[in-house]
Amino acid sequence: MKTVRIWFKKLGAARFISHLDLNRCMARAVHMAKIPLWYTQGFNPHAFITFALPLSLGVRGERECMDMKIDETKITDEELLLRLQKTLPADLPVFAVTDPKEKPGKIAYALYELKMCSETPENAETDLFQKWESFLNQEKIPAEKRSKSGPLVVDLKPDLQIRKIFQDGETIYTEVLLPAGSEYNLNPSLLVETFRSQSGASFFCEYTRHCLYNKQMEPFQ
Amino acid sequence: MQRMNPNMEKIWMKVQKPSRYTGGELNSVIKNKEDVDVRFAFCFPDVYEVGMSHLGMKILYGILNEMDGVWCERVFAPWIDMEEQLRDAHLDLYALESGDSLREFDILGFTLQYELSYSNILNMLDMSGIPLLASQREGLKNLVVAGGPCACNPEPLADFVDLFFLGEGEEIDKELILLYRKCKQENVGKQEFLIQAAQIPGVYVPSLYDVKYKENGTISSVTPLCGAPAKITKRVMNDLDSMYFPDRFVVPYLDIVHNRAVSEVLRGCIRGCRFCQAGFIYRPFREKSVETINRQCKSLCENTGYDEISLSSLSTSDYRQLNPLLDKLLTWTEDARVGISLPSLRVDNFSTEVMDKIKTVRRSGLTFAPEAGTQRLRDVINKNVTEEELMKTVSTAFKGGWNSIKLYFMIGLPTETLEDIEGIVNLGQKVVDAFYANPDRPKGRGVSVSVSASGFVPKPFTPFQWEPQDTVKELREKQKHLVNCVHSRKLECNYHEAVVSFLEGVFARGDRRLGPVLLEAHRQGCKFDGWNDCFSYEKWMRAFQICKVDPAFYANRRRSFDEILPWDHLDYGITKEFLIRECKKAYQAEITPNCMQKCSACGASCFKGGICVEDRTDLV
Ligand code: SF4
C-alpha cells in the first residue's frame, strides 16, 4: 500500500460542482478506471480519497490535488494517470501523479488570480480600477468573516500580499497571495465582497487558484 | 455559442445548484456543427435531477447521436431562480451541450411523463422566444414533437405540438428524422411535411384531425384530413434483445433522483390493475434475456463508473428469470464492488432468497403498494394482493432487519366507502403490530410505518376511463377521515393535495378545448405544477374561468360507454370491449387473472409479441 497524490485542474463546468459532488465524481472515475484502491476494512468498504484543500464553488483550480491509497504492486503511477485521464470528464483533467512530499497540513498560502469586469458602462473600468486600488491601499481592511463561533471582524490588510495588479482593456487582473490551510484560511471572495459592499461598485469577478505554497513559499508538493 | 457568453457564468454564480445548467458531464456528446444537418433538442419539462433520471431520455439520446449528421442535446426546465436570471439578462433557454438557444434547433422533442408538466412545456418554448401555438410556427424549423405515456391522450396539447409519437420511440424517432431531413433538403413546406409524417405508423398529427362537438359538450366526430389514418396505432418493439440500448449514460455531477446505472429487464406488465394506465398502454409483456441484461449492465458500469445497478421495469419481480439473472450478475458485481437494486418489488413474491442476493444495497426502507385498504376494494381494482401475503412479506422484511416500511394507497377509488378508508389505517396498524410480534426484532429499535394516500385519477385506456373522479371536497373529507382513524404514533399518514389530483384528472382525460386554458394558465404564470411550492390552484381556476371552461366536466363527470372519448382514434391495442368488460367486473369485485395465468383477450395480441404469442400449452 502506498499513498499517491493526483494533480488535476478544475475548469469549465467542473468549477460549479460542490465538494460533495466532486468527491462522488472522483470516486466514480476511480471505480471506472479500475484503480486498485486500498479499502478500509469492515462491512462498508470506503475508498480513501482526500482532497488537500477544497475549492469554493465557482473557483477555477489550476493545480489541485487529492490523495488516495493504492496497491502499488498492481499499477504504476503512469498507468494510473492514463486511466484517470480517460475516465474523468474533460473539465477535470489530471496532469500528474506523484508521491506526496508534504502533508496537507503544511499548506500555508494560496495564490489567486482575480479577474474583475465592471457591470456599469462608460469609463467604469478606470473608475473601478481606482476604487479597487484605493481599497487595497487602506491602512486597515476590516471584514466580517464567518467562523465557528459566529461572525468575526478581521483585518485583511496584514495578510494580503498583492503580487500583480494591472488593467487590460475592460478587465482588471489582480494576483493575490492569501493565507490558506487548515489553521487560517482566507477566501478571496471575502476580500472581493468586502470591496463590493464598501465601494458600492458593481462588477463581476472570476476567481482562479493557481498554486498552493508552504510556509517557506515553496509550491506545495 | 451562448454558453461561452460571460453573462452565463455570472448567472451560474447566482443560482442554486449551477451544475444543473453547465453541461460538460462525462459522456455528454459534443458534435461539430458543420457535420450536423438535423439538430434535435430533447426537452424534459422538469428540473435536471428528475429529467436526468429518466431512462427514455438516455435511450433516445444514444440512438439519435449514433445517427450521422444528427446531434441530440438535452434541455431541462430551469428552476425559478434560473428562469429569473435568464429573463433578466435577456438570454434564451439553451441546450446543455452547445449552449445554443432552442431557437437554433430543427426539432424540439418533449417527453410527456405527467400531465402536471404541461405548463412547463409552454414556459420552455416561451423562454426561447418560440411561438407557443403550432399554427404560428411557420416552416420546418422549431418543429415541436412529443412522446411518452401522456401522449396516449395528447389532445390538451394539440394546439402547441406539431406531432406526437405513440408508443415506444426506438424506431419512430429515427424514421421521422429521416423524413425531416429529406423534406428540409427538398424545401418542402411544413404542411406537406406533416401530411407525409402522418403516414409513418405511430405518428399522430393533431392538426390533420377535425374534432366536432355535440351540444352537451361531448365529441360528435373526429375526422381525419389529407389522407391521415383514421386510427393511429402505437409502436411496439417486439424483440428487446436486439433493440438498441445505450452502453453509456451521461453521468451527472449532481446527485440526481436515480443516480445509478439502469437496465430495463422487461416492458409491459402482466397484472392489469384497473387503475393503472401503465399496466395497459405498455402491453404486451416482453422480457429481455438474462444474457442481454448481463452484458448491458457490465458495459454500463464500465462506461459510467456507477457502483449500483437498478433492474428497472413496471414490476421487476415478474421477470421470470430473476433468480438466474441475479446469480449471473453476482458472478462479477461483487468483485467490481457493484450493488444491485430492485426498484419495484411486489408483495406476493418478495422472497428471502431475492432479499439475500440484493443485500449489498443500502437498506434505505421498503415500499409496498397495496393501493386499497380492504380486500373487497383490492378486488375491485384487480390488485391481487391479499392481507396475508402482505403480512408474510413484512414479517420477512422485519426478520431481515428492515424497520421502516412505506405503504402506498389511493383514495377516491370507484365504489369506495368510508370502511375502505378505515381499512387503510387498519392495515398500517397490522404492519406495526407485525413488527412487535417478531421475537428477534432488533433491540432498542422501533418501527416506522408510513401510509401514503394519493387521490385516484381516472386515466385513459384503463377500465376506469369512464369513471367520475371524486371532487376536491369528497377527497378532502376522505383524507380527514383517514387521519382521524390513526391512533398510533408508529403510524405516519401522508396524503397528496386534492386540488393537484383534480388538475391532473382534468388534463388526463381532457380534450382540445383545454388548449386555451393551458395558454391562459401560462400567462398567469403557472409552472412546475407538480411542485408544491409552485402550484397555484387559484391561478388555474382563474384560467378556467377566463376561458369559460368547466374543469368538472373533465374530472368529475361519469361518461357513458358509448361516448366518443377524446383518445378513441388512438390505438394502444387494448380494445374498448375489453375495458368495458373489466369495468363491469370491477363493479362486481371480480378479479381478472394476470397474463401469465390466462389471456383475457385485451387486444394487445395484435402486436404479435411477448407473452401474447408465447407457447401456452403448459397452461392449458
Ligand atoms: S392479449 Fe392476452 S396475454 Fe396479451 S396482453 Fe392482452 S391479456 Fe395479456
pLDDT value at residue A179: 93
B156 cis-preceded (ω within 30 degrees of 0): no
Residues of B in contact with A60 (CB under 8 A): none
Q: Which residues sit opposite B266 in a β-bridge?
A: B287
Cβ burial B183-219 (10 Å sphere, 16+ → b, else e): bbeeebebeebbbbbbebebbbbbbbbebeeeeeebb
- pLDDT, tens digit, 9 for 90 and up, residues B413-464: 999 999 999 999 999 999 999 888 877 776 777 888 999 999 999 999 999 9
- Helices H, strands E: what count in chain B? 21, 19
For residue B603, report the distance from its CA to the centre of ligand 1, in Å.
7
Residue appearing with cell numbers 399496466: B279
- Position A184 scores a pLDDT of 85
* Chain A residues lying within 8 Å of B305, measured CB to CB: 27-33, 87
Task: Please tell me the residue having the least CA distance from ligand 1 atom 4.
Answer: B612
Q: How far apart, in whole angstroms, are the C-alpha atoms of residue B402 and residue B206?
A: 50
B387 touches chain A (CB under 8 A): no
- Closest partner CB to B253 (pick from A25, A30, A58): A25
Query: How would residue B307 be classed by pLDDT, with cut points 50, 70 and 90?
Result: confident
B498-543: pLDDT as tens digits: 999 999 999 999 999 999 999 999 999 999 999 988 999 999 999 9
**B253–A14: do the CB atoms touch at under 8 Å?**
yes
Q: 3-class secondary structure for B478-541?
A: HHHHHHHHCCCCCEEEEECCHHHHHHHHHHHCCCHHHHHHHHHHHHCCCCCCCCCCCCCHHHHH
Model confidence pLDDT, tens digit, residues B84-133: 999 999 999 999 999 999 999 999 999 999 999 999 999 999 999 999 99
Task: Please report which confidence band the pLDDT of residue B620 belongs to, taking 50, 70 and 90 as the band edges.
Answer: very low
CA distance A211 to A109: 9
Quick one: pLDDT at residue B1? 41
Inform me whether the pLDDT recorded for B2 exceeds 90.
no
Question: What is the average pLDDT across B587-596?
Answer: 96
Contact, B470 vs B456, CB < 8 A? yes
**Cα–Cα nearest to A107, from A182, A190, A8:** A182
Touching check for A67 and chain B: CB below 8 Å? no
Percent of chain A with pLDDT over 70: 93
In terms of residues, how long is chain A?
221
**Ligand 1 in contact with B271 (CB < 6 A)?**
no
Size of interface A-B (CB pairs under 8 A): 69
Mutate to test the interface with B, among A16, A94, A117 (most CBs of B within 10 A): A16
- B29/A contact by beta carbon, under 8 A: no
- What band does B594 get if pLDDT is binned at 50, 70 and 90? very high
pLDDT exceeds cutoff 90 at B401: no
| Residue in the structure block whose three cell numbers are 399518514 | B493
Q: What is the mean pLDDT of residues B377-402?
A: 88
HSE value, Cβ hemisphere, 13 Å, CA-based, for B598: 5
pLDDT tier, B399 (very low <50, low <70, confident <90, very high otherwise): confident
CB distance B250 to B25 below 8 Å:
yes
> Amino acid identity of B81?
D
B334 Cβ under 8 Å from any chain A Cβ: no
- Pick the range with the lowest mean pLDDT from B199-208, B253-262, B409-418, B587-596: B253-262
DSSP letter (8 states) at residue B448:
E
Q: Which amino acid is at B41?
A: A
Q: A118 falls in which pLDDT band (50, 70, 90)?
A: confident
Angstrom distance (rounded) from CA B41 to CA B75: 7
- The whole-number pLDDT of residue A124 equals 60
pLDDT band at B65 (very low <50, low <70, confident <90, very high): very high
Give the one of A17, A18, A28 whose C-beta lies nearest to B305's C-beta: A28
Quick: pLDDT tens for A18-59.
888 898 899 888 888 888 887 665 544 556 788 888 898 999
Cell matching residue B541: 381556476
User: Which residues are registered as beta bridge partners of B70?
Assistant: B38
Q: What does the pLDDT read at residue B336?
A: 83
CA distances from A23 to A27, A216, B384 (A): 6, 30, 45
- Mark yes or no for CB contact B25/A57 under 8 Å: no
Query: Taking phi first (over 0 means left), then psi (-120 to 50 degrees means alpha), and beta for anything else, what does residue B53 get?
Result: alpha
Ligand 1 contact via B595 beta carbon (within 6 Å): yes
Task: Answer whether B184's CB lies under 8 Å from B106's CB.
Answer: yes
pLDDT at B362 over 60: no
Q: Does B363 touch chain A (CB under 8 A)?
A: no
**All structural domains of chain B with their residue ranges:** 8-231, 261-496+559-607
Question: Separation of B620 CA from ligand 1 center, angstroms?
Answer: 15
Helix (H, G, I), strand (E, B) or coil at B51: helix
Ligand 1: atom nearest CA of B599 is 2
Q: How far is A129 from chain B (nearest CA, A)?
A: 20
Most confident of A160-164, B222-226, B253-257: B222-226
What average pLDDT does chain B have?
Answer: 92
* Tens digit of each residue's pLDDT (9 = 90 or more) over B526-538: 999 999 889 999 9
Which sign does the torsion angle of CA B216, B217, B218, B221 carry?
positive
Kindly state the cell numbers that stand for B38: 438535423
Task: Mark B481-509 as b/e (b = at least 16 C-beta within 10 Å).
Answer: ebeebbeeebbebebbbbbbbbbbbbbbb
- CATH 3.30.70.580, chain A: domain bounds: 2-100
Q: What is the mean pLDDT of chain A?
A: 88
User: b vs e for A163-185, b when ≥16 Cβ sit within 10 Å of the residue's Cβ?
Assistant: eeeebeeeebebbbbbbbbeeee
Q: What pLDDT does residue B337 have?
A: 82
Which of 98-137 (A) contact B at CB < 8 A?
Answer: 117
pLDDT cut 70: percent of chain B above it: 94
Q: Please give the grid coordinates belonging to residue A58.
A: 465557482
A87 close to B (CB below 8 A): yes
More reliable by pLDDT, B457 or B13? B457
B612 alpha carbon – ligand 1 mean position (Å): 5
Q: B573 C-alpha to center of ligand 1: Å?
A: 10
Choice among A15-19, B134-138, B252-256 with the minimum mean pLDDT: B252-256
What's the pLDDT score for residue B4?
56
* Ligand 1 atom at shortest distance from the alpha carbon of B605: 1
Region B491-504: mean pLDDT is 93
Nearest to A21 among B255, B302, B337 (CB): B255
**Which fold would CATH assign to domain A2-100?**
Alpha-Beta Plaits (3.30.70)
CA distance to partner chain A, nearest, from residue B91 (Å)? 17
**What's the pLDDT at B360?**
42
B18: alpha, beta or left? (left if phi > 0; alpha if psi -120 to 50): alpha
Q: Tell me the C-alpha distance between B107 and B70, whole Å.
A: 11
Q: Tell me, what's the pLDDT at A151?
A: 85
Q: What is the pLDDT of residue B361?
A: 42
Question: B240 vs chain A: nearest CA distance in angstroms?
Answer: 27
Interchain contact B1–A (C-beta under 8 A) = no
C-alpha cell at A177: 497571495
Q: Top-level CATH class of A106-213?
A: alpha beta
Ligand 1 centroid vs B602 CA: distance in angstroms?
A: 5
Per CB-CB distance under 8 Å, the chain B contacts of A12 are: 22, 24
How many C-alpha atoms does B458 have within 13 Å on its Cβ side?
Answer: 23
User: Domain B261-496+559-607 belongs to what topology?
Assistant: pyruvate-formate lyase- activating enzyme (3.80.30)
pLDDT in tens, B308-357: 888 988 888 889 999 899 999 999 998 888 888 876 665 555 666 666 66
CB proximity B69 to A under 8 Å: no
- Helices assigned H by DSSP within B385-453: 387-399, 418-437
Given this model, what pLDDT does residue B618 score? Answer: 52
Q: Look at residue B355 in the predicted model and tell me its pLDDT.
A: 67
The pLDDT value given to residue A42: 52
